[in-house]
Chain A
Amino acid sequence: MDMNEIKEIFFQECEEQLAELESGLLKMNDGDRDPETVNAVFRAVHSIKGGAGAFGLDDLVSFAHVFETTLDCVRSNKLEPNQDVLKVMLKSADVLADLSNAARDGGSVDEARSRQLIRELEALANGEMPAASEPPVAKAAPAPKASAPAPAAPAPAVPATSEDGFQPIPFSFDDFDGEERPVEPYVPTCEVLFVPKRDLYAKGNEATLLLRDLSRLGEMSIRCDMDKLPLLQDMNPEEAYFSWKISIATDKGEDGVRTVFEFAEWDCDLEVRTIEDEPEAVAGDDEQPMQPVPFDLSILDDASDVPAEDEPAVFEQPVAPAAAVEVASNVVKLAEVPKVEARAALAASPAASQAAANAAASTAAAPTIRVDLDRVDRLINLVGELVINQAMLSQSVIENDNNGVSSINMGLEELQQLTREIQDSVMAIRAQPVKPVFQRMSRIVREIADATGKSVRLITEGENTEVDKTVIDKLAEPLTHMIRNAVDHGLESPEKREAAGKNPEGTVRLTAKHRSGRIVIELADDGGGINREKVRQKAIDNDLIAADANLSDEEIDNLIFHAGFSTADKISDISGRGVGMDVVKRSIQALGGRITISSKPGQGSVFTMSLPLTLAVLDGMVVTVAGQTLVVPLTAIVETLQPEASAIHSFGASQRLISIRNSFCPLVDVGRILNFRGTQANPVEGVALLVESEGGGQRALMVDAIQGQRQVVIKSLEANYTHVPGIAAATILGDGRVALILDVDAVVAASRGQPLKQEMSLAATG
């Protein structure tokens, strides 16, 4: 794994945290005051900040920091998260998302907006906090303390900033062994008195390690003061008895020395004194001038092998120049004494991760694993193969064993059952709640409400409803457009609403639920409803319908799904964007879904989308057309009927209508449309499939015969061939042959005189 991969992980995680953040803020917006909600929100921002810092994403860090600071005020009850506060925070969440996207894709962000929000966040934080509070931006990227630049003195070589963006620190391990150092006269620059307290060991610190660390700053000499060491029988193993006096020659200065003791400063008495250029100071009042004692790091390497119970003080004499006798005799084999103290310090205390363990049991979430999507897809494909194979096997058994009594048949039935269950389980792996998409919508609503000056409340329901990930991914775009449309066109201005006796705040309700093996998503607004007069007029102006056309309300409403249709007098910047409801409809249809609208003047509109739960299988009706087997998606079929000769009426040159319960429905000869035959089939000899299609109108599709219904695995035609007009996809039937899945809407559209385009995809020009 390299830094780029981790960065990618960071951005994935960012997305998750942003979703977490938004959902938490929305909960708070709805009055949730559970501290855990606030904590989760805080953690999300905090986590983004932490990761962003690691990658030097400064914009993200500074914004997250300000945001975090304000959230901390909420967390510590210094700031009441009322609607106004949450409004700022939700917008801030949006900006944070923008910043994260910009950092990922290299795009730009609305800097004015983020600066504005930084000001608003700071104002919120300051409003309730002492004015003395540090300006949050200033400490956005905390400077690493340890990397305080070394003074001008000949510092060790500073490595250039490494490619992963980390700051170099002026520190080199090469110095430790001392080999490369020019032999310089040892002139201590600092004097250190280090008196550990017993807490130092209780917190896992070790005096020896600190001294070793200190030795890395430069040559030093150490005196161990053991005066306090009691007789053995009086020794308390938890107590700290030793203290050290160190003279060190370092270019890191007093700060450098103190940094070594950073972790221990509360748990020891520490005096650090810089020795000025006065040799007397070295001598001190009661000390002899000291010679350096090379601090042998190797003794530490042995440390772990030395039983802690060893005698507490073993003296070592690394060097013994005459002048250093005193020093040397006092140098303790550093590794050992503190070990005794530290280990002993661990005596009895009731074992008690019990509480934590209990907490674990109660809050343990269902464990999850992350799986590469490719693996899941491969599994789904294989199960698809299994389903086909099982069907083929069943078929050949039936063909070869007409007695139908064998145990083979029973086994096959079980196999079929199991196969179906495996398939369902595998499909469930890809199923995801629609929540992320719904969450994105709340941002869309906020933005458009801001842009239009409308006040909008988005209510989401059923966001845990699950559907195939592919469907979810492709749902966001049409849904976004519809939401924009609902707020921009659907809802009236607050003034108009008030005048109409409505709540000036409009409501948009987004609902998801499962219904008969499909997911149904409803988008309802409580706006003015569709202005049918206007729609009708527009349709007439655009030659979509004849001026005297007799259309039902439903049919008029559905005109808005026609290409290029827009009721807004001027193309609005918001819902316009060159995309009409026809595009929405097409993308829903591309997912094997349907969309309808129902509207009540003055009360609002409801868009209902029905989508398959998966794009991998569909329930189809297997039919015969001109000797070919076709599959018609079951969801498109309203009913099937056997036409009576008396019900068929000719209309114009070639059109035929079928009368069903006193209304006339155009007949569509599927075989003709698909060019499977040159002449029209005799409707009386076939079966009519009544289908609902674009525009809400019904059509009767003529096929020769119905073979049955079954679930089929959807296979792409495009993978090795090309898109075929009138055909949605392919599947493989029990006999191993490919059957085509009919694109009902395309066929109906073709019957309206929009011929299916002949695509010579495989044709060379020659």
Chain B
Amino acid sequence: MTYAAKTLSEGRELIAFRIGDQEFCVNIMSVREIRGWAPATPMPHAPPYVLGVINLRGAVLPIIDLSLRLGMKAAEPTVRHVIIVAQVGQKVVGLLVDAVSDILTVTDDNVQPTPDIANEAAKNYARGILAIEGRMICMIELEALFPQIESEAA
């Protein structure tokens, strides 16, 4: 109940991260942890953006190349890359991004609608645009990126 009140008055917290020269953010509530890149075990017959699976304290976690998933070029993971471990529906996935840049607190007033020029794919997952200190940050809804995961969980 205190949390709900906080959301309304103080806004919600988001984690912002960088892929290439673009910035994105997701709700901090869905983020479990952030960890460094470790080589993943490739999965047969997986879509290209599934880099494979890693061991996260005993659990087998799929690693998603978020860049590729968002329609940008495939990542070339290095030790400087980070993995955002996030909850999507009932499952936990690792999102490979270049770097985590910020933790933001925003209210609905900060969020602008996704511009019309965005392509169809982007419209599916983009939930709005944040303009903060001259930066443009695209707010992503993970459930929309992995609809199957969501539906399996349902």
A and B touch in the complex (CB under 8 A): yes
A730 nearest CB neighbor, chain B only: B60
Q: How far is the CA of A737 from the CA of B124 in the complex (A)?
A: 34
Within 8 Å of chain B (Cβ to Cβ): is A431?
no
Does A761 have its Cβ within 8 Å of any Cβ on chain B? Answer: yes
Contacts of B58 in A (CB 8 A): 381, 384-385, 388, 715, 732
- On chain A, the residues within 8 Å of B145 by CB distance are 764
Are B59 and A719 interface neighbours, CB within 8 A? yes
Given contact pairs A720-B92, A732-B55, A757-B45, a sample of 15 additional A-B residue pairs in the complex whose CB atoms are under 8 Å apart: A717-B60, A720-B59, A720-B91, A721-B43, A722-B148, A732-B58, A732-B60, A737-B55, A738-B55, A739-B41, A740-B43, A758-B45, A762-B62, A763-B47, A765-B147
Separation of A765 and B60 alpha carbons in the complex (Å): 25
- Quick one: closest B residue to A735, CB to CB? B55
Bound Cα distance A14, B27 (Å): 49
Asked whether B97 is an interface residue with its Cβ less than 8 Å from the other chain, the reply is no
Asked if A106 CB lies within 8 Å of chain B CBs, one says no
Chain B 136-154: CB-based contact to A (< 8 A → 1; otherwise 0): 0000000011111100100
B45 touches A736 (CB 8 A): no
Q: Which residues of A contact B146 (CB under 8 A)?
A: 762, 764
Q: How large is the interface on B (under 10, 10 to 19, 20 to 34, 35 or more residues)?
A: 35 or more
B55 cross-chain contacts in A, Cβ below 8 A: 388, 732, 736-738
Question: In the complex, what residue of chain B is closest to A717 when comparing beta carbons?
Answer: B60
Q: Are A766 and B124 interface neighbours, CB within 8 A?
A: yes
Instruction: Say yes or no: A762 contacts B45, CB within 8 Å.
Output: no
Q: Does B44 contact A (CB under 8 A)?
A: yes
With A and B bound together, what is the CA distance between A92 and B58 in angstroms? 49
Per-residue contact bits, chain A 720-756, to B (CB 8 Å; 1 contact, 0 not): 1110111100101000111110000000000000001
Contact with B along A682-723 (1 / 0, CB 8 A): 000000000000000000000000000000000111011110
Asked if B46 is an interface residue, CB under 8 A from chain A, the answer is yes
Report whether over half of chain A's contact residues are helix, strand or loop; otherwise say mixed: loop
A676 within 8 A of B: yes
Chain B residues contacting A384 (CB-CB under 8 Å) are 58
Give the docked Cα–Cα distance between A245 and B55 (Å).
Answer: 85
Give which listed residue, A715, A726, A756, contacts B60 with CB less than 8 A: A715
Q: Is A549 an interface residue (CB 8 A)?
A: no
Interface string of B51-76 (1 = CB under 8 A from A): 01111011111101000010000000
Whole-angstrom distance between the alpha carbons of A629 and B42 in the complex? Answer: 10
Query: Which residues of chain A are within 8 angstroms of B52 by Cβ–Cβ distance?
Result: 738
Against A, the Cβ 8 Å flags (1 = close, 0 = not) of B13-50 are: 00000000000000000000000000111111111011
Assess whether B121 is interfacial by the CB under 8 Å rule: yes
CB neighbours of B69 from chain A (8 A): 764
Q: Which residue of A lies closest to B42 (CB)?
A: A628
Instruction: Given the known inter-chain contacts A720-B61, A764-B145, A766-B120, please indicate yes or no for A737 contacting B39, CB distance below 8 A.
Output: yes
Among A381, A629, A719, A725, contact of B45 (Cβ-Cβ < 8 Å) = A725
**Chain A residues with Cβ under 8 A from B144's Cβ?**
764
Q: Provide the bound-state CA to CA distance between A667 and B43, in Å.
A: 23
Query: Please, which residues of chain B bring their CB within 8 A of the CB of A732?
Result: 55, 58, 60
How many angstroms between the C-alpha atoms of A213 and B46 in the bound complex? 79
CA distance A715 to B121 in the complex (A): 34
Alpha-carbon separation in the docked complex, A724 to B42 (Å): 12
State whether A764 touches B124 (Cβ < 8 A).
yes
Q: Which of A381, A676, A715 counts the most B-chain CB atoms under 10 A from its CB?
A: A715
Complex Cα distance, B54 from A736, in Å, reads 9
Question: A298 contacts the other chain (Cβ, under 8 Å)?
Answer: no
CB-based contact B45/A759 at 8 Å = yes
Q: How many residues of A contact B (CB 8 A)?
A: 38
How many whole Å from B104's CB to the nearest CB in chain A? 26
Which of A716, A758, A764, A765 counts the most B-chain CB atoms under 10 A from its CB? Answer: A764
Cβ contacts under 8 Å, A760 to chain B: 47
From B47, B124, B145, name the one whose CB has the most chain A CB atoms within 10 angstroms.
Answer: B47
Is A353 at the interface (CB under 8 A from chain B)?
no
14 contacts between A and B (CB under 8 A): A388-B55, A675-B44, A715-B58, A715-B60, A719-B60, A720-B60, A721-B53, A737-B41, A756-B44, A760-B47, A762-B62, A764-B69, A764-B146, A764-B147
For residue A718, give the distance in angstroms from its CB to the closest CB of chain B.
Answer: 9
* Pairwise interchain contact B53-A756, C-beta atoms closer than 8 A: no
Interchain CA distance A757-B45 in the complex, whole Å: 8
Bound complex: CA A759 to CA B149 (Å):
13
Q: Which residues of B contact A766 (CB under 8 A)?
A: 120-121, 124
Decide if B96 is an interface residue (CB 8 Å cutoff): no
* B47 to A, closest residue via Cβ: A763
Complexed CA–CA distance, A726 and B44 (Å): 8
Asked if B53 and A730 make an inter-chain contact with CB atoms under 8 angstroms apart, the answer reads yes
Name the contact of A721 in the complex, choosing from B42, B91, B120, B124 (C-beta under 8 A). Answer: B91
CB–CB A756/B39 < 8 A: no
Q: How far is the CA of A739 from the CA of B44 in the complex (A)?
A: 12
Q: Write out the residue numbers on chain A whose beta carbons fall within 8 Å of the beta carbon of B84.
A: none
A86 part of interface (Cβ distance < 8 Å): no
- Which of A674, A740, A759, A765 has the largest count of B CB atoms less than 10 A from its CB? A740
The 3 closest A-B pairs by CB, nearest first: A674-B44, A766-B121, A738-B41
- Docked Cα-Cα span, A623 to B49, in Å, equals 26
How many angstroms from the CA of A762 to the CA of B148 in the assembled complex?
6
Contacting residues of chain A (532-590) with chain B, CB-CB under 8 angstroms: none
Contacts of B49 in A (CB 8 A): 762
A756 partner, pick from B42, B45, B92, beta carbons under 8 A = B45
Cβ contacts under 8 Å, A676 to chain B: 42, 44
Report A600 CB to chain B, min CB distance, Å. Answer: 42
Q: Which residues of A contact B42 (CB under 8 A)?
A: 628, 676
Chain B residues, Cβ within 8 Å of A736: 55
* A103–B65 alpha-carbon span in the complex (Å): 52
Best-buried of B39, B40, B62, B121 by chain A (most CB within 10 Å)? B62
B119-145 near A? 1/0 per residue, CB < 8 Å: 011001000000000000000000011
Is B82 interfacial (CB-CB < 8 Å)?
Answer: no
Q: Is B93 an interface residue (CB 8 A)?
A: yes
Give the shortest distance, in Å, between B117 (CB) and chain A (any CB). 17
Instruction: Report the nearest A residue to B57, measured CB to CB.
Output: A385
Q: Are B53 and A717 in contact (CB under 8 A)?
A: yes
A763 pairs with B148, CB closer than 8 A = yes
Residues of chain A lying within 8 A (CB to CB) of residue B64 = 762
Considering only CB atoms, which chain B residue lies closest to A673 in the complex? B44
CA distance A740 to B43 in the complex (A): 8
Instruction: Give complex CA distance A564, B55 in Å.
Output: 40
- B36 to A: closest C-beta gap in Å: 13
What residues of B have a CB within 8 angstroms of the CB of A739 in the complex? 41
In the complex, the chain B residue whose C-beta lies closest to that of A392 is B55
**B44 to A761, Cβ gap below 8 A?**
no
Closest chain B CB from A712 CB (angstroms): 12
Residues of chain A within 8 A of B152, CB atoms compared: 722
- Which of A722, A724, A738, A762 is the one whose CB lies under 8 Å from B44? A724
CB <8 Å contact, B91 and A724: no
B124 contacts A719, CB within 8 Å? no
CB distance from A138 to the nearest CB of B (A): 53
Q: Is the Cβ of A726 less than 8 Å from the Cβ of B59?
A: no
CB distance from A620 to the nearest CB of B (A): 15
Q: How far is the CA of A412 from the CA of B27 in the complex (A)?
A: 44
Which chain A residue lies CB-closest to B39?
Answer: A737
B93 touches which of A720, A727, A759, A764 (Cβ 8 Å): A720
* B150 CB, min distance to chain A CBs, angstroms: 10
**B146 nearest CB neighbor, chain A only:** A762
Q: Are B54 and A738 in contact (CB under 8 A)?
A: yes
Question: A724 to chain B: which residues have CB within 8 Å?
Answer: 43-46
Q: Are A727 and B44 in contact (CB under 8 A)?
A: yes
Q: A381-B58, A726-B45 are in contact. Are A738 and B148 (CB under 8 A)?
A: no
CA distance A715 to B61 in the complex (A): 11
In contact, B47 and A628 (Cβ under 8 angstroms):
no
When distances are taken between beta carbons in the complex, the residues of chain A under 8 Å from B93 are 720
- B25 nearest CB across to chain A (Å): 19
Complex partner residue of A716 from B44, B60, B148, CB under 8 angstroms:
B60
Pair B41/A740 contact, Cβ less than 8 Å: yes
The residue from A628, A675, A720, A765 contacting B41, defined by CB atoms under 8 A apart: A628
8 Å CB contacts to B: which residues of A599-640?
Answer: 628-629
